[in-house]
């Protein structure tokens, strides 16, 4: 079986915003406690943050991390997480039916971000709270001093402002599961008023308004239109969320889900354009896809806690999906879709980063390790920076639940002009056949292969564990060639590959 690809230097989508490789940490399960924060761990630093986790995160070069939620933020009082730790209150978290000690708050999270080399993206509570609390939080975080809230920050040990530029205006407010759920008009008005107030403080903030929680919401895509009609002149991004599942154990349909993702992005992009034109606006609003990942493996085991049958435990194991090799292919497909839509998707956050539906897992007092999905995320984050190429792909395909003629070969390409490199990320959806791929490199100087990484496994359900951390891991590829203006590479059945060419 064969497939062909044309990559032309001048046929591009957009420069990729580095923040499309962002991440998310919520006060949920063991994401914070026993995830990034475990003061008794052998690797813990002076702030109680796990050094082994910090290294795995730092290696990913994550540009920004969204915090503190998620559903958690819709009933969160940010003031509970500042000041002396022994004076902070324990609260009930209605979203996940757990208790929150508030041992970690914005100060601790900011210090951790500095340690791993990332930026903060903060969310304000527009569920149980509103404009006043949002502006107070912003003043506490960003004002130099001389006011009540900024002086309180200084008193709490941070003289210089945190200078956070990215702010989410609530979370999933279209969802009836959300504390303070609102309809589109209610939320749109509140978000617009909050955005106005925040911009009165700093007109250069980047503000993200809530879009649909997923593409199957009954209110989608009218939600986006109504919310943007209220907020278009006051925000920079609208957020989308999507999680991916294979409950039916149908690999072919599972690996075609990125068609649904692509339609979701394009529908919201067209809604943005509709509102822009209706308002005769000169501004552009983009998409922040600030929650995405595979999520279904842990659903059954989570029910006891989420249904309230375990009381109000602190930091229990929740949403701890153990990812398999099949999920490597899915995450590769999702990232390829973001790259191909980089003209409108400017921010994205894998949800989440540690323990909770995450590429990194930990044991309390024990090791931290990379889950299977860590690797496609790593390759895209490290090598997928530059300009997305608008590739012409000719591949045999199959009919799936989500689209006709789903191509067996899914590929994205990135040109980093500064480094003089091309990076291609390829997935073979075929379960039994290898595919010979030929990429015509047009407008590029003759190149050479500088890196070739392959991920395959005989068992789609193979996983990494604390005892066997490299059961599913990349290996050096062989056989890829760059000569006579083309790149040739063989894709084994059910495989993920990255091929980099010096040009």
**Active-site residues: which are they?**
172, 291
- What is the torsional sign of CA 67, 181, 259, 325? positive
CA 499 to chain centre: 23
CB 352 within 8 A of CB 358: yes
Residue 370, strand partner residues: 360
**Checking DSSP bridges between strand 119-124 and strand 345-351, what pairing results, if any?**
unpaired
CB 285 within 8 A of CB 232: yes
- Whether cis (ω within 30° of 0) applies to the bond prior to 68 is yes
Tell me the DSSP string of 432-463. Answer: S--EEEEEEEESS---EEEEEEEE--S-TT-B
CB 14 within 8 A of CB 343: yes
How far apart CA 236 and CA 205 sit, in angstroms, is 9
Helix (H), strand (E) at residue 77: none
How far apart CA 20 and CA 237 sit, in angstroms, is 13
The tokens for 361 are 């897992």
C-alpha pair distances (Å), 252 with each of 11, 398, 401, 495: 30, 9, 9, 14
Quickly tell me which residue has 């989308």 as its tokens. 240
Residue 44, strand partner residues: 50
């Amino acid at each position: 079986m064969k497939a062909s690809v044309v990559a032309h230097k001048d046929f591009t989508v957009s420069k990729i915003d580095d923040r499309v490789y962002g991440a998310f940490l919520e006060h949920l399960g063991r994401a914070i406690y026993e995830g990034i924060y475990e003061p008794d761990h052998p690797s813990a630093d002076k702030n109680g943050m796990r050094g082994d986790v910090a290294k795995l995160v730092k290696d990913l070069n994550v540009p920004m991390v969204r915090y503190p939620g998620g559903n958690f933020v819709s009933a969160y009082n940010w003031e509970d997480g500042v000041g002396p730790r022994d004076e902070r209150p324990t609260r009930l978290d209605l979203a996940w039916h757990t208790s929150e000690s508030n041992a970690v708050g914005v100060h601790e999270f900011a210090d951790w971000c500095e340690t791993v080399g990332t930026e903060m993206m903060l969310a304000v509570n527009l569920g149980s709270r509103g404009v006043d609390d949002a502006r107070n939080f912003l003043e506490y975080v960003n004002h130099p001093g001389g006011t009540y809230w900024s002086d309180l920050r200084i008193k709490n040990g941070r003289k210089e402002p945190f200078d956070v530029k990215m702010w989410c205006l609530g979370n999933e407010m279209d969802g009836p599961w959300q504390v303070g759920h609102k309809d589109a008009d209610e939320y749109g008005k509140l978000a617009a008023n909050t955005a106005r107030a925040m911009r009165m403080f700093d007109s250069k903030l980047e503000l993200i308004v809530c879009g649909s929680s997923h593409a199957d919401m009954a209110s989608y895509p009218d939600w986006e239109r109504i919310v943007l009609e209220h907020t278009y002149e006051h925000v920079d991004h609208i957020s989308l969320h999507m999680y991916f599942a294979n409950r039916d154990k149908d690999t072919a349909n599972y690996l075609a889900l990125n068609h649904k993702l692509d339609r979701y992005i394009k529908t919201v992009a067209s809604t943005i354009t509709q509102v822009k034109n209706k308002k005769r606006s000169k501004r552009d609003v983009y998409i922040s896809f600030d929650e995405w990942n595979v999520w279904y493996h842990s659903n059954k085991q989570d029910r006891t806690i989420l249904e309230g049958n375990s009381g109000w435990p602190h930091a229990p194991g929740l949403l701890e999906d153990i990812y398999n090799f099949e999920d490597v292919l899915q995450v590769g497909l999702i990232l390829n879709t973001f790259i191909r839509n980089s003209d409108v998707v400017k921010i994205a956050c894998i949800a989440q980063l540690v323990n909770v539906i995450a590429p990194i897992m930990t044991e309390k007092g024990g090791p931290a390790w990379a889950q299977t999905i860590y690797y496609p995320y790593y390759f895209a984050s490290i090598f997928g920076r530059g300009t997305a190429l608008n590739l012409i792909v000719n591949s045999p395909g199959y009919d799936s639940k989500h689209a006709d003629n789903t191509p067996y070969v899914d590929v994205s390409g990135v040109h980093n002009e500064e480094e003089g490199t091309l990076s291609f990320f390829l997935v073979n959806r075929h379960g039994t056949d290898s595919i010979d791929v030929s990429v015509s490199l047009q407008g590029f100087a003759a190149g050479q292969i500088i890196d070739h990484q392959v991920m395959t496994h005989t068992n789609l359900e193979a996983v990494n564990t604390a005892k066997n951390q490299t059961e599913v891991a990349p290996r050096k590829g062989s056989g890829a060639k760059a000569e006579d203006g083309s790149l040739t590479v063989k894709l084994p059945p059910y495989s993920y590959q990255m091929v980099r060419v010096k040009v």
